[in-house]
Amino acid sequence: MAHHQTGGRGTHGRSWENARESLLFSIGLPLPAVTPAPIPLLVGFSSAEALRCEGVPVFIKWPNDIWTQSGKLGGVLCELAKTPSGDNYLVIGIGLNLRGGEDVASGRYAADSVSTDTADRFCRELRTRLLAGMSGTILSRLQAYFRTGRMPDWQQWTEYDYLMDREIILDNNAGELQAGIYRGISESGALMLQVGDVIRCYAAGTVRFPQEQG
């Protein structure tokens, strides 16, 4: 766990700059042989669930960004690794702006922070409390999925969905863009995009808004 880092990484090799006071932590656990689920999405919604229990009004921007109504608060990065014995291992990295998020806003989107309180002691206590709540909820949700092998019911988190019914542009990370209306998450965790009268499902990609720059 740390409160600041340099050279932070986001998804698809992008850089990620955190606020001057942040919560940065990683969780590692064995990955059993179960039907693959969109683990970043599950971790994201679990994080939002824990943050809301602490009174932080957050949402998830599919598949792995943590937002408030004012801007991006943080994100999730999940990677697979191998143990020396060859077993699969899941490494989850989470970064959350605690204060000073406005200093790392980009041309593409605004950024936000959990708190505007400037007291160092408050920030330390908040970091400790959020670490316990988020890590506990994430592990509980993942272990339940690994134990049963059942795909999560994404509809239980509809109220946490930042994109619902918004006009978006989906970048498939291969240079192809598709505009449409976001219509939620399918049973498999795919993004559902309405293009004309047709609903298309996308298992991967980056969501942009029409007003974003770059």
What tokens were used for 163? 């994109």
Q: Which residue has the higher pLDDT, 113 or 213?
A: 113
Tell me: the pLDDT tens digits for 158-202? 999 999 999 999 998 888 899 999 999 998 899 999 999 999 999
Topology of the domain comprising 163-208: SH3 type barrels. (2.30.30)
Q: Which tokens sit at 143?
A: 């272990």
Q: Where are the domains of the chain?
A: 11-157, 163-208
Element (H, E) at 99: strand 88-99
Residue whose token pair is 């918004």 = 166
Q: What's the topology of domain 11-157?
A: BirA Bifunctional Protein; domain 2 (3.30.930)
30 phi and psi angles, rounded to 5 deg: -60, 145
- pTM for the model stands at 0.83
* 3-state helix/strand/coil string of 22-53: EEEEEEEEECCCCCCCCHHHHHHHHHHHHHHH
The letter for the amino acid at 184 is G
Bridge partners of 67, per DSSP, are 59, 72
List pLDDT tens digits, range 135-165.
999 999 999 888 887 888 888 889 999 999 9
Q: Which residues contact 125 (CB under 8 A, 6 or more apart)?
A: none
What's residue 119's pLDDT? 53
pLDDT recorded at residue 7? 52
- Any residues with CB less than 8 A from the CB of 143 and at least 6 apart, and which? none
